């Protein structure tokens, strides 16, 4: 104080609230034939006098077929012009055409998705339920790429666009075939045995699938392409056999290289019989596989030999391999059936999803009545999808083809069915019923504990997956920390100049 004067000042002081918006969530996963109840216990058992309700949301997908459909454009979107990618672009059109031919309702469903604005990346959906903006995460580019691919799915429903694309891709593939019959990675390069074998095997599988109707998708006969391709892979294997002979190790042939060759040639053996050295390799493999310990084979070898020996008429040995695969499988409540020994490694033979698809093919062909095993294996493949695909172009093509050709149909009307009881009432969303996508939100200040529980019954093939969400305001000192699956921490840094140059300094 200074006499009758003072230096005081009157201003408004900002006081931060001691409350914040919190989102609690429970993941939902229901398999065929199951009835399961999911609850957000913080809501159903809540006794707080300071909590204020904001919203309750239920989001579900009742048919996984759309996870498959939305992966098709990833095969068309690959900018790499290698021979296997060009082949897979053609393959994607063939797959889409056959799917839509068998299931015309899918076009209607897609148009519904488009009109309802549902063609968004899964990462971009439900921003109102997320604590972190997508633009602030490392996945923002993946989200944009996925949304572009979803929009490109529209082209697959245009008959003229599809027809032109099929013809163009088949013609482009033919141009990439070298004079020696093989396919190179890129035009002008030497032939690649790996790429050539992949194309020959895939063509064989498609021919079996379409039962001779593959010509409907080829602008010119495949006979010339296939005969040259068979001669090329046979000549490469002859060189391999000659090398083994020089090293006196012709008995050491039960390996992935040889099994992949025999598996590929098995599709074409009727039209193009194995030649002498190919026959020798086949005989050695049969002889060795009868006596080798089953634990000595690779995972790739197990499912390939199961199929090969069945085709060779050696049913008992084939059954031994399939039984071993079943006995060593692991079952997860939320991921289906898989194998712990099936791990990613370098090379085509060690792709986890491709190997799993190969095992699924074996069970579907040799034990079609083991429906539970087959459906659980399909579920594992669905859970391995990475945003918009299964990793590589080859892996995605392999998975899509195998799922659609194994076990129960996921495109039937039965696979869409499910009963959902939320808040004591059945949830029916007529706007998106055909798509199998359901999202229901209740916004209210009043806390309703019944909305913290949902019961789902899935009678048909496939799975129901999604989440139950509760958003509310609560005092900071009463909020409980909960971590599961994945957690994200946001930190801010500033650039500072030091004697060592620019460095990042954490802002605390």
Q: What is the pLDDT of residue 7?
A: 63
Q: What is the pLDDT of residue 135?
A: 42
329 Rama class: left (phi>0) / alpha (psi -120 to 50) / beta: beta
pTM of the entire predicted model: 0.79
Q: What is the pLDDT of residue 346?
A: 65
Q: What is the pLDDT of residue 65?
A: 75
Only one residue has tokens 């604590």, namely 131
CATH for 55: 2.60.120
Token readout for 490 is: 């946001």
Same domain, 35 and 107: no
In a domain, 446, yes or no: yes
Same domain, 128 and 36: no
In a domain, 333, yes or no: no
In a domain, 404, yes or no: no
In a domain, 206, yes or no: no
Beta bridge partners of 19: 475
Same domain, 71 and 156: yes
Q: What is the pLDDT of residue 322?
A: 97
Same domain, 77 and 153: yes
In a domain, 436, yes or no: yes
Domain boundary among 140, 156, 175: 175
In a domain, 261, yes or no: no
Same domain, 138 and 46: no
- Backbone φ and ψ for 485, nearest 5 degrees, come out as 65, -80
Same domain, 73 and 28: no
Total number of domains constituting the chain: 2
Domain boundary among 160, 175, 190: 175
- Which range marks the domain in which residue 75 is found? 67-175
Same domain, 127 and 162: yes
In a domain, 32, yes or no: yes
pLDDT in tens, the chain (508 residues): 566 666 666 777 666 678 888 889 899 999 989 999 999 999 999 999 999 999 999 988 887 777 777 777 777 766 777 898 899 889 888 888 887 777 676 666 666 666 666 555 454 455 444 444 434 444 344 444 545 555 566 666 666 777 788 888 899 999 999 999 999 888 888 999 999 999 999 999 999 988 878 888 887 888 999 999 999 999 999 999 999 888 877 777 788 899 999 999 999 999 999 998 999 999 999 998 888 889 889 999 999 999 999 999 999 999 999 999 999 999 998 889 999 999 886 665 678 999 999 999 999 999 999 999 999 999 999 888 866 678 777 788 888 889 888 998 887 777 778 899 999 999 876 555 556 778 888 999 999 999 999 999 999 888 898 899 999 999 888 887 666 556 667 788 889 888 888 888 888 7
264 Rama class: left (phi>0) / alpha (psi -120 to 50) / beta: alpha
Pick from 426, 453, 387: nearest CA to 56: 453
Same domain, 93 and 48: no
Cα end-to-end span (Å), the chain: 38
Q: What is the pLDDT of residue 120?
A: 57
Same domain, 72 and 158: yes
Same domain, 161 and 111: yes
In a domain, 55, yes or no: yes
C-alpha Rg value of the chain to the nearest Å: 29
Domain boundary among 125, 154, 175: 175
Q: How far is CA 461 from CA 33, 70, 180, 242, 426, in A?
A: 8, 19, 47, 50, 21
Same domain, 79 and 27: no
């Amino acid at each position: 104080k200074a006499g009758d004067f003072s230096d005081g000042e009157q201003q408004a002081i900002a006081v931060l609230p001691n409350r914040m918006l919190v989102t609690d969530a429970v993941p939902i996963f229901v398999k065929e034939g199951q009835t399961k109840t999911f609850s957000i216990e913080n809501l159903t058992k809540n006794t707080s006098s300071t909590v204020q309700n904001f919203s309750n949301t239920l989001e579900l997908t009742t048919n996984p077929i759309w996870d498959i459909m939305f992966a098709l454009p990833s095969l068309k979107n690959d900018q790499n012009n290698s021979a296997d990618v060009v082949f897979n672009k053609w393959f994607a059109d063939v797959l889409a055409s056959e799917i839509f031919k068998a299931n015309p309702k899918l076009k209607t469903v897609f148009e519904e998705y488009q009109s309802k604005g549902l063609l968004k990346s899964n990462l971009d959906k439900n921003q109102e339920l997320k604590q972190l903006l997508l633009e602030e995460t490392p996945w923002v580019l993946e989200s944009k790429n996925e949304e572009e691919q979803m929009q490109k799915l529209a082209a697959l429903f245009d008959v003229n666009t599809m027809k032109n694309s099929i013809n163009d891709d088949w013609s482009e593939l033919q141009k990439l075939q070298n004079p020696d019959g093989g396919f190179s990675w890129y035009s002008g390069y030497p032939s690649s045995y790996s790429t050539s074998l992949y194309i020959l095997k895939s063509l064989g599988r498609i021919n079996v699938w379409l039962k001779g109707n593959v010509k409907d998708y080829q602008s010119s006969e495949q006979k010339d392409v296939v005969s040259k391709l068979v001669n090329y892979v046979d000549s490469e294997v002859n060189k391999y056999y000659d090398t083994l002979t020089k090293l006196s190790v012709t008995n050491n042939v039960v390996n992935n290289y040889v099994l992949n060759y025999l598996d590929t040639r098995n599709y074409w053996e009727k039209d193009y019989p194995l030649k002498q050295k190919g026959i020798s390799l086949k005989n050695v493999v049969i002889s060795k596989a009868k006596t080798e310990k089953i634990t000595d084979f690779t995972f790739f070898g197990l499912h390939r030999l199961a199929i090969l020996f069945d085709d060779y008429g050696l049913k008992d040995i084939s059954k031994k391999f399939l039984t071993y695969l079943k006995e060593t499988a692991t079952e997860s409540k939320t991921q289906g059936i898989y194998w712990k020994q099936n791990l990613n490694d370098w090379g085509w033979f060690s792709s986890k999803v491709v190997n799993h698809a190969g095992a699924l093919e074996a069970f579907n062909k040799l034990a079609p009545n083991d429906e539970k095993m087959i459906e659980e294996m399909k579920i594992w493949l669905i859970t391995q999808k990475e945003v918009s695909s299964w990793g590589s172009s080859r892996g995605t093509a392999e998975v899509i083809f195998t799922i659609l050709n194994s076990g129960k149909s996921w495109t039937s009307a039965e696979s869409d069915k499910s009963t959902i009881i939320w808040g004591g009432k059945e949830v029916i969303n007529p706007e998106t019923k055909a798509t199998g996508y359901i999202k229901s939100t209740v916004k209210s200040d009043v806390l309703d504990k019944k909305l913290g529980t949902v019961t789902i019954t899935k009678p048909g093939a496939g799975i129901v997956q999604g989440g139950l969400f509760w958003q509310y305001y609560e005092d900071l000192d009463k909020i409980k920390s909960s971590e599961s699956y994945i957690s994200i921490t946001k930190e801010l840094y500033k650039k500072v100049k030091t004697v060592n140059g620019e460095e990042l300094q954490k802002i605390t």
